[in-house]
Structure 1
Amino acid sequence: MFKKEISTWAFLLFASLLGSATTVALSGCTPPPIPEANTSTALDDDPVDSNVTATNSNVTTAGGPSAAVDLPMALVPPKTMSTKAAVALVSTTSADTTETSAPEDVQSAGGDWPQWGGTRMRNNAPGVTGLPEEWNIGKFDRRSGEWDNSKAANIRWYANLGSQTYGNPVVSGGHVYVGTNNGAGHIKRYPSEVDLGCLLAFDEKNGEFLWQHSSEKLITGRVHDWPLQGICCAPLVEGNRLWFVTSRGEVRCLDTEGFYDGEDDGPVKDEAANVAEIMNAGPAAAAHAATLASLAEGKLSDAAKAKLAEAGEPLEGDAKVETVTADKVWKATGNFGGVDRTITMKQIGPKIMFIKSLGVDDKRDADVVWVFDMMGPTMGVSQHNMCACSVTSYGDLLFVNTSNGLDESHINLPAPDAPSFICMDKNTGEVIWTDSSPGRNILHGQWSSPAVAELGGVAQALFAGGDGILYSFAADRGKDGKPELLWKFDCNPKTTVWKLGGEGTRNNLIATPVAYDGRVYIAVGQDPEHGEGEGHLWCIDPTKRGDVSPTLAMKLEDGKRVPIEHRRVQAVEPEDGEVEVDNPNSAVVWHYSMFDSNGDDEIDFEEEMHRSIGTCAIKDDVLYVADFSGLVHCLDAKGTKDGKPIVHFTYDMLAQSWGSALITDGRVFIGDEDGDVAIFEFGPEHNEPMDEINMGSSVYSTPVAANKTIFVSTKDKLFAIGETD
């Protein structure tokens, strides 16, 4: 059954133009020298100023001190080594670019799908077979959440996610990982009303919850960490290690086994974790006073015991309470939640914080290996609303888009010199090189994810910059902390104009570049809140060097054409005598913005490429991409010999699409905001869906397939779809 009406656009992912009530000014500057680490944590015995949050400004993670956090609980930074210590571990060796499996082998095997797009080439077209022809999710009671599976078909399992989910599932080593918010409340110390960014791990066989990494909200608010958006990226998994970026602008490496392996992997060990708090305000004021009085007497109050029990740490028997710093810091040693451990209590401003050290008994929490804080003083990144990069690797090298962007005014760039793209050693967290090419020309935010491919015999790291330019860097260790720029390609015509709120014609790059058969593919788009608009889809030859944009910006001086330095709002202003000229070094293979498919000399809605945040998927030279207006575009990936696109068909899903296509097992799967997954038979001749299955709530992410199973994350649930007995 297909939809008859167009759905309303009712959801916001990125920044509101109204901005935040809190103004945060972060001055851009050259990163300072990396300081020596002080590895004390908030669990140490040093006094704590009652006017500050639980963040210890002396704590240095791999990227420097973490930003302070206030509500709903104050995050205590982990104990870890400094960046200088990390550098010492690897500075005498070159990065190993050996890979355990070639991308082509991962793509064709039909097994695990261990990162966004499956491999560093980012083409979501796995060789999975044996998938069901159809499925039915059954019904869920909207109040109780109870599942009526009497009519469900081919649903192996489902798992509850948060209330908003944008992260794409990743499948590796018997686990399924997905980013979301804390709406499911999987951990008792973080009930569902506490807003967090969450990376969840489930058992691939049965959907059992395994562990959760919890990122508490930044005190700076929505300018950096938009409410309820959660973790919007997909992790990278290799063996027993996982890498991802948090909503706090950190790059984190985790142990995929969590604490189930009986080990606390490091260098981050005994990571401090908030358990509960009692606020000296409102109805809790009496409990706060009683708790302070009891602590002064060497006891835990009934209110403190109740709070700990609510957080999954009930006290069994008695606890020994010691004063560390009078009226400020105490330690209670006893059996909490069935584990002999010490709980530290701190009077911080108007609240008493209860803090524990994570260890092998905390099975539902993630085991952190190392942390790098991109917003710390070492880099000074100021992310716009969120950090949403799905990282990728090439051997030992890890590539990350920092998400550096504008402030809430949508005009000022707080950190113009902060890096936009970085290369790290994935084993240690050492930053190998940084690049700030977009500079002051960042249009809004930077939310794309990098790709890496060997193109023309050269390993290239592809970075979609916030200025609308696609950059290619040599995927190696660079020199003196800087990468080698191979080429750059402006994905916007030079006369296009950037306007606040999406009214202009100049676009961002939010989609991920895809490498296929020696070519690179990418579409332009904007923050979904900016609405619909004109778009462009490019096929690029990555073997050229230098400025390989389609056209160049020029002006006349003394009768000669002189290049114009790139400008943020409009690269060429014709009214000032500036001109856009063809670039003799252009790398355009073909360009698609519109195509008169019916030959009536008019361009209809269905004959245009609109703004897109979707990534191309390609198989056997057939390309699929969905645009934000809800059109599915099917093209020939090669184009014509004279540089024209070959458009096989477009199909209107009658609902906006935020995600990308999945090509597998002879079919194409694309989700939409109405919660439908449209299923096409693969091939240019199949221009209408063979089926359309509703998933119960919006599908903002991209379906993935691995091990004879399709994984679809809706707004609030993760489904494993496969043949069932």
Structure 2
Amino acid sequence: MISRSILFSVYCFAFACPALISQAVEPSKSALPAPFEQNDLLWELTLASRQYTTPVLDNGQLFLGMNDYFLEHPAQKTTGGGLLQCRNPETGALDWQMVIPRFEEGDIAPSHFNRWTCGLCSRPALDESRLYIVSPRGDILCLDRKGQADGNDGPFKEEAAYMELPDETKIQTTDGDIIWAHNMLEENKVVPHDVCGSSPLLVGNYLYACTSNGQDNKHQFIVNPKAPALIVLNKDTGQLAAVENEGISSRTFHCNWSSPVAAEVNGETLVLFGGGDGILYAFEPVTATTGQPQTLKKRWQYDCCPERYRIKDGQLQTYSNHSKRSQEGPSEIIAIPTVVDGRVYVPIGQSPNHGPGQGMLSCVDVATGKMIWESDKVARTTAQPCVKDGLVYISDYSGNLSCLDADSGELYWQHDMESGAWCASPVVIGENVYISTEKRVMWILKTGTKKEVLHRARFRLSPITPMAQDGTIYIPTQRHLFALKASF
């Protein structure tokens, strides 16, 4: 059994045919594994065949991203596309959902995306009445947080066509309500690769989004090396306000998948973005819209991929790929950077299809862009570092969970997870750190400078990053979502 101290720490930490299974479900029929207790199960959902986004809970609304494998809709069937769902966090009941059909043209050469049925891989950015996502179709959507329950607000009125509903089909009150849409394929000439796999960022009146611009279907070249890797939209209208013009796409190894983050330093805000070229960029935020899209002003850049990874014996190192794997060579930034106390922690990595290999975790001063420390003890990873109480926890695709000193980079310990981690990041809840692997195992360890393994739980499908809020821990897997209460 999972200890009551763990559940107590969860409580204290204030940090798609959807099948709702009540708490009274027979333990033999629940997908919740030991050591978690059935008595603590509030509700359990079967959501999808693939789910990669961490749940977002805000103002009594629980937002989830997934594919449409189990879609239940009166007028639409599964297409291999995505779903954004808004649910009641107390019961798991569906409030509304946005159906995002698969973009078939995304799999026509040289394009190579929206083919893996990964669904929606974007956590929403939220304000009081709206939310914003990067859809798997290559567009950015602004939606009403209430869905169609308060009517079709507009100015976008073509939800039925967007959802590819049959002619004369009426929008349901449980459907999503699009306010505006920005098509990156048409407006920015972007050619995403594999998935549109990033989350947007709100800073003031502007929305920052990674475009997922990348390679062709044969992994030989960047289809449009002049397309921006990062764009900025007016959050109210969707008007293009700015683009990066640093040539990131022309230097991209594979694709751009990292998400922009905001950092406060010396009383001002900077927007940080990890590029597909392995470089971390700091941009000044947009403050006003002009007649034409602006060029983002770069404050500094830092190369997170060491030169020795790029060049060896005077020769450019070969980038690993799915057909010719190599543990050496350069890597891009896929992970979301973590900003804490004026420092940004960012690792490098590659698609897990390229296999494990050498990595680097860098700690950079946000004000200057200068390195504070770096550690090659962390291998290739797509995981976001978790920084808590002066310690950095980070998992990698070589199968290690590492604990390092946040100030110096000193390695305190590593835990062999028996398998790589790529669809989950470590998270600290209370006094414990949770991390999951591709072999369906969730590890729970004690936080601190000495390694202490508490539990090893095996799920039916791989868990992704859990979250805890308001006395409830939410554990998503590729198929399920569990809501567990605290227990004393």
Structure-1-length-normalised TM-score: 0.59
Q: Deviations over 1:81-108 (max 9, x none)?
A: xxxxxxxxxxxxxxxxxxxxxxxxxxxx
Q: Give the whole-Å Cα distance in 2 for the aligned partners of 1:274 and 1:373.
A: 12
Match of 1:694 in 2: 458
Native 8 Å contact 1:155 1:721 kept in 2: yes
- Is 1:653 the equivalent of 2:417? yes
Q: Are 1:367 and 2:177 matched, yes or no?
A: yes
Write the distance in 1 (CA, Å) between the matches of 2:163 and 2:156.
19
The yes-or-no answer on 1:635 pairing with 2:404 is yes
Tell me whether 1:396 sits opposite 2:205 in the alignment.
yes
Is structure 2 residue 157 aligned with structure 1 residue 269? yes
1:528 equivalenced with 2:352 (yes/no): yes
| Residue in structure 2 matching 1:592, options 351, 356, 375 | 375
Q: How much identity, in percent, do the aligned residues show?
A: 29
Deviations 1:650-696 (A, max 9, x none): 111112212111112222111222222211222222x1321223333
Q: Which amino acid aligns with 1:719?
A: F
The amino acid of 2:261's aligned partner reads A
The 4+ residue runs of structure 1 with deviation greater than 6 A are: none
Decide whether the 8 Å contact of 1:410 with 1:500 is kept in 2. no
Unaligned runs of 5+ in 2: 3-9, 16-24, 310-316
- The 5 A counterparts of 1:320-339 are none
Deviation at 1:460, TM superposition (A): 0.6
Distance 1:151 1:672 in 2: 21
Sort the Cα spacing of 1:465 and 1:275 in 2 relative to 1 into closer, same or farther, 3 A: closer
Aligned residue for 1:515, secondary structure, equals strand
Q: Do the aligned partners of residues 358 and 412 (structure 1) sit closer, same or farther apart at CA in structure 2, a change above 3 Å counting?
A: farther
State how far apart, in whole Å, the 1-side matches of 2:76 and 2:57 are.
Answer: 26
Determine the structure 1 residue equivalent to 2:442. Answer: 677
Q: Per-residue CA shift, 1:188-244, capped at 9, x if unaligned?
A: 33334x311111221111001222212212222441212311111211122221110
Count of paired positions: 451
CA contact (8 A) 2:99 2:163 kept: no
Which AA in structure 2 matches 1:717?
H
Instruction: Find the counterpart in structure 1 of residue 380 from structure 2.
Output: 611
Q: Please say if 1:473 is aligned against 2:278.
A: no
Is this contact kept in 2: 1:274–1:354, CA < 8 A? no
Aligned to 2:124: 235
Q: CA deviation at 1:475?
A: 1.7
The answer as to whether partners of 2:47 and 2:66 remain within 8 angstroms in 1 is yes
Aligned amino acid, residue 516 of structure 1:
V
**2:77 partner amino acid:** P
- The alpha-carbon distance between structure 1 residues 473 and 414, as it changes in their structure 2 partners (threshold 3 A), is same
Give the match's secondary structure for 2:73.
Answer: coil
CA distance in 2: counterparts of 1:238 and 1:716, whole angstroms: 28
Change (3 A) 1:183 1:474: same
Q: What's the counterpart of residue 508 of structure 1?
A: 332
Q: Please give the alpha-carbon distance, in whole angstroms, between the structure 2 residues aligned to 1:358 and 1:638.
A: 57
**Equivalent residue runs for 1:251-400 within 5 Å:** 251-261=140-150, 263-273=151-161, 354-356=166-168, 358-359=170-171, 362-376=172-186, 378-400=187-209
- 2:445 & 2:86 partners in 1: Cα distance? 30
Which residue in 2 is equivalent to 1:213? Answer: 98
Task: Return the alpha-carbon distance in structure 1 between the equivalents of residues 161 and 56 of structure 2.
Answer: 26
Question: Match for 1:709: what amino acid?
Answer: T
1:709 alignment counterpart: 472
Residue 516 and residue 404 in structure 1: after superposition, are their counterparts in 2 closer, same or farther (change >3 A)?
Answer: same
- Select the residue among 175, 179, 196 that pairs with 2:61: 175
Cα distance, 1:364 vs. partner?
A: 2.5
- Pick aligned residue for 1:162 from 48, 51, 59: 48
1:591-648 deviation line (CA, Å, top 9, x unaligned): 1013xxxxxxxxxxxxxx2111001111121111111122111111011xxxxx2111
**Aligned twin of 1:119:** none
**Distance (whole Å) between structure 2 residues aligned to residue 470 and residue 219 of structure 1:** 33
Matched, 1:719 2:487: no
Mapped partners of 1:436, 1:248: distance in 2: 24
1:457-482 Cα offsets, whole Å, 9 max, x none, are: 33110011111111000123378611
Amino acid across the alignment from 1:681: K
CA displacement 1:683-716 (0-9 Å, x = unmatched):
222x1321223333111x2111111111111010
Question: Does structure 1 residue 189 correspond to structure 2 residue 13?
Answer: no
3-state SS of 2:148 partner: coil
Q: Which residue is equivalent to 1:18?
A: none
Confirm or deny: 8 A CA contact 1:536 1:591 kept in the other structure.
Answer: yes
Q: Secondary structure at the match of 1:540?
A: strand
Q: Distance in 1 between matches of 2:250 and 2:204?
A: 32
Aligned to 2:120, the other structure's residue is in SS state coil
Three-state SS of the structure 2 residue aligned to 1:439 is helix
Counterpart Cα distance in 2 of 1:146 and 1:366: 30
Larger Rg over CA atoms: 1
Contact 1:137 1:153 in 2 (8 A): no
Residue aligning to 1:664 = 429
Per the TM alignment, residue 386 of structure 1 is displaced from its structure 2 partner at its CA by: 1.4
Contact 1:236-1:243 within 8 A present in 2 as well: yes
CA distance in structure 2 between the partners assigned to 1:240 and 1:668 by the alignment: 33
Q: Which residue of 426, 448, 452 maps to 2:235?
A: 426
